């Protein structure tokens, strides 16, 4: 299993309950296929450029271990989740 870091930028209009639900959804999915090490909520930040007409976004950072095949499925889930504006997953090794 490899170590990964995944950064997700969430729509800034999502409330605290919605953020918790998204965090639990992604954490649960990762834990089914690997192991979450840490989850950091970095709060709202100004974006470098406009994404889907938003100038701010809420950042979530997941550090986890998983098999390389799982990353495709994780990014598919990010893509179909309406609240996610952008995402990036990198191999830490």
CA distance 45 to 56: 6
pLDDT higher than 90, residue 60: yes
DSSP-assigned states of every residue in 24-87: HHHHHHHHHHEEEEEEEEEEEEEEEEEETTEEEEEEEEEEEEE-HHHHHHHHHHHHH-TTEEEE
pTM (predicted TM-score): 0.91
Q: What is the pLDDT of residue 6?
A: 95
Q: What is the mean pLDDT of residues 19-30?
A: 93
What are the chain's domains? 2-91 (3.30.70.60)
């Amino acid at each position: 299993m490899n170590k990964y870091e995944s950064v997700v930028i969430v729509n800034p209009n999502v409330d605290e309950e919605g953020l918790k639900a998204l965090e639990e959804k992604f954490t649960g999915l990762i834990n089914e296929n690997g192991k979450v090490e840490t989850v950091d909520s970095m709060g709202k930040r100004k974006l470098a450029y406009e994404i889907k007409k938003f100038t701010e976004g809420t950042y979530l950072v997941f550090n986890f271990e998983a098999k390389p095949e799982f990353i495709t499925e994780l990014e598919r889930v990010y893509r179909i989740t309406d609240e996610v504006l952008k995402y990036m997953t990198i191999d830490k090794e």
